[in-house]
Structure 1
Amino acid sequence: MKKILFLTFILFWACKETPKKNTQITNNVVKQKENFDALPIKYAKGFTIEKHEKITVVKVNAPWPSANKTFTYALISREDFKTITLDASKYDAIIPIPVKRMVATSTTHIPSIEALGIENTLIGFPGTDYISSKPIREKIEAGKVKDLGLNESLNTEVLINLEPDLVMGFTVEGENKTYENIINSGTPVVYNGDWVEATPLGKAEWIKFFGVFFNKQKAADSIFNSIAKSYNQAKELASKAQKTPSVLSGSMFKDIWYAPAGESWVAHFLKDANANYIWKDSFGSGSLSLNFESVLAKAKTTDYWIGPGQFTSYNQLQESNIHYTQFDAYKNKNIYTYSLTAGATGGLLYYELAPNRPDLVLKDIIHILHPEILSDYNPVFFKPLKP
């Protein structure tokens, strides 16, 4: 799955908008009006939601990294959909809500679907083996969620025959001919940029994006507020720790060591866990591409190694590269991985749930680095590397 590989080696561990004018219904034609209500989005930077008289306008302003294009969607209740006329040229899609049949395309979409209780709307997904959620796996096994191949080669014929109300999609670079074909068939594609967000709570706040398509705004707000409260409470606890241990992250892929940059999602977790991430002062929200020698020189004596890529054991590390054994974190058995926590068909839970539950990720890291603070906590994602 393209997104998983991209997140593994590139992003993982590694603006104010001019508001649209509101709408007023006159003789079944939408005309512009000055007032509207903007729904509060506190952490996410990639989308806005505006409530007009009978229309909700959703704008995605960061659908992929460094995007120079925005997408605007008009959402209209099913009761009003046939009586309201909009200028279709002003919107990328006009969608009746609540959505009843949906195709999702990323495992990061799954936790929002489950948390909002809208599992029955999911009818298709590319690469269903990557899904770890038990309720969704039950639907897959019952034949209620069709496997659509892989994101790089979606089975558009099967997808279109499913007749979804929309496809919740994503793109890495902005070019996706498959999505163009789906749109040309009459099925809306809505771009979800949750993965572009650099901050943990920014990613999690995209549950509000899901909520508005399913008339679940209040539930989405409540769920997110609970997550944000849990995260900030854990962050406050970590700030009182007596020590600030040093942390290394990433691993080699071919000849390059990929590590999260200093403004990345992972770096935010480490900072909030009161860790001294050795590349915290580097720029960028993606990943750093480093050679092994420079990493060893800088990170040899770090206290912990959190997130060594796909590795699950010390033996694997040693067999892959004998020089991994030179790090103190290796010698002291202070390496922790997310790759030991998988679903029934092998999908890694971290890729699916972590962006939506950053409070659990933060608590995992605090438990590792400051066990005296969360001594009774049972980690969800990160486990000690096996021998």
Structure 2
Amino acid sequence: MKCKILFFILLFVLNSCKKESNDTSEDWHDISENVRFKDDTNTFELQSGKFKYTIPQSKLPFQKVILLNASLVGYVSELGLDNKITGISSPEYVFSPVLNARISNGSVHNIGNEQKYDVEKIIAAKPDAVFTNYISSFDNTYGLLRKNGIEIIFLDEYLEQDPLRKAEYLLVFGKLLGAEKQAAERLGSIRAAYDSLKNLAKKAQSSPKVLANEMYGNQWFLPGGKTSLAKLIKDANAQYIIAQNTDSKAIPMSFEEVMSRAEKAEFWVNVGNHRTKKELLSINPNYTQMPVYHSGKLYTVSGRERGRANDFFESGVVRADIVLKDYIKIFHPELLPEYELTYLKELK
């Protein structure tokens, strides 16, 4: 009898612990191993990399923010909240027409660049928060801003190697900028479009081989097989030449090794932002030894450029569905006969 009682007590305790553990886990929204957040009546909690934030709900939504990375502009613009941006670094790299207009009329301040931020301007702007990728060499700058009561929020979206997880950062901006419902709707739309396009790509009759990137100096930095680009190529129903690789970073290779692997490649994508194939040869004349250079098709990421700004690295960070659509159009044009490329452009 005692054994049975102890058994039921133990079972109750285990179930209670399990329920408590699940409840605790469910409180958090996990975007990835890099970022998670949760909120309650009083606070919004964010974990981003090694940084943790507890922000009182009374301080939300933020009304004035500064962005130190052009890649973060895409999230704010996607939510139609450009009016909340009061400062930007390196404005020459901003593509958004709305934000450029605000920069031109002085509504958005130029607060320096990645070499040196204008700390006095940032403090004078009195932003509710500064959003940036974390760069350790700027620790002193971050510390000075914090001493002046400015919240520094680090979001390293570039670390995400799943295009839809990058898009999911919309939810963080939605929470902090007062557009939670809109962020969820936009993300849902992007996810649905991406999944639909992925299923469309499966209908293609072929799966061509694809080469990516180009040489820098004496090495060719090929995106690893677990990178965002590798996933996009796979989801577009094509064969990336090192798809079996398990790295989530760029892999340095010699020209000879890449040439061997790309012998049967039909497409070469993300070839920088060159204007012509001839210009590409000025970087490395050995490209003429590759069959894909002569008989394949080459594509740059310069479909949407304005001066030094490139929208592939801005809105393209968020719009995983449109980026995937571009790759499907390239590899399987018959599936999207009416569609014109957005971010990518054929190099001739």
Same fold by TM-score, threshold 0.5 exceeded? yes
Give the superposition deviation at 1:282: 1.3
Judge which range, 299-308 or 268-277, deviates more. Answer: 299-308
Task: Work out the CA distance in 2 between the residues paired with 1:265 and 1:152.
Answer: 28
Task: Work out the CA distance in 2 between the residues paired with 1:163 and 1:350.
Answer: 30
Provide, for residues 63-114 of structure 1, a one-character-per-residue CA deviation record: whole Å limited to 9, x for no partner: xxxxxxx222223233xxxxxxxxxxxxxxxxx1110111011112112211
Q: Which has the larger radius of gyration?
A: 2
- Residue aligned with 1:355, SS: helix
Q: Any residues of structure 2 matched to 1:19-168 within 5 Å, and which?
A: 38=27, 40-41=29-30, 44-60=32-48, 62=49, 70-78=50-58, 96-168=59-131
Output the amino acid matched with 1:377.
Answer: Y
Q: Which residue of 1 aligns with 2:310?
A: 348
Q: Does 1:204 align with 2:167?
A: yes
Match of 2:218 among 221, 234, 255: 255
Q: Relative to structure 1, is the Cα distance of residues 246 and 173 closer, same or farther in structure 2, using a 3 angstrom cutoff? A: farther
Quick one: percent identity of the two aligned structures?
27
Q: Relative to structure 1, is the Cα distance of residues 325 and 72 closer, same or farther in structure 2, using a 3 angstrom cutoff? A: same
Task: Work out the CA distance in 2 between the residues paired with 1:107 and 1:313.
Answer: 26
Q: Which residue of 1 aligns with 2:189?
A: 226
- Residue aligned with 2:45, SS: strand
* Contact 2:74 2:317 (C-alpha < 8 Å) held by counterparts: no
Q: RMSD between aligned alpha carbons?
A: 1.9
- Residue aligned with 2:302, SS: coil
Q: Relative to structure 1, is the Cα distance of residues 346 and 254 closer, same or farther in structure 2, using a 3 angstrom cutoff? A: same
Output the amino acid matched with 1:72.
Answer: K
Q: Which residue of 2 aligns with 1:376?
A: 338
* Contact 2:219 2:253 (C-alpha < 8 Å) held by counterparts: yes
Output the amino acid matched with 2:38.
Answer: E
* Contact 2:157 2:166 (C-alpha < 8 Å) held by counterparts: yes
Q: Which residue of 2 aligns with 1:326?
A: 289
Task: Work out the CA distance in 2 between the residues paired with 1:169 and 1:272.
Answer: 30
For structure 2, list consecutive stretches of 5 or more residues without a partner in the other structure.
1-19
**Number of equivalences:** 327
Provide, for residues 259-285 of structure 1, a one-character-per-residue CA deviation record: whole Å limited to 9, x for no partner: 110000100100101110001111211
Output the amino acid matched with 2:47.
Answer: K
Task: Work out the CA distance in 1 between the residues paired with 2:263 and 2:25.
Answer: 55
Give the superposition deviation at 1:222: 0.5
Q: With the length of structure 2 as denominator, give the TM-score of the two structures.
A: 0.89
- Residue aligned with 2:56, SS: strand
Task: Work out the CA distance in 1 between the residues paired with 2:24 and 2:299.
Answer: 51
Output the amino acid matched with 2:346.
Answer: P
Q: Which residue of 1 aligns with 2:275?
A: 312
Task: Work out the CA distance in 1 between the residues paired with 2:274 and 2:202.
Answer: 30
Q: Does 1:296 align with 2:259?
A: yes
Give the superposition deviation at 1:36: 9.1
Provide, for residues 278-307 of structure 1, a one-character-per-residue CA deviation record: whole Å limited to 9, x for no partner: 011112111011111111111133110011
Task: Work out the CA distance in 1 between the residues paired with 2:137 and 2:248.
Answer: 19
Q: Does 1:385 align with 2:313?
A: no
Q: Which residue of 1 aligns with 2:14?
A: none
- Residue aligned with 1:183, SS: helix
Match of 2:154 among 191, 196, 202: 191
* Contact 1:308 1:337 (C-alpha < 8 Å) held by counterparts: yes
- Residue aligned with 2:318, SS: coil
Provide, for residues 178-221 of structure 1, a one-character-per-residue CA deviation record: whole Å limited to 9, x for no partner: 21221122211011121111100010100111111112111110
Output the amino acid matched with 1:59.
Answer: Q
Task: Work out the CA distance in 2 between the residues paired with 1:77 and 1:363.
Answer: 38
Q: With the length of structure 1 as denominator, give the TM-score of the two structures.
A: 0.80
Task: Work out the CA distance in 2 between the residues paired with 1:340 and 1:370.
Answer: 18
- Residue aligned with 1:150, SS: coil
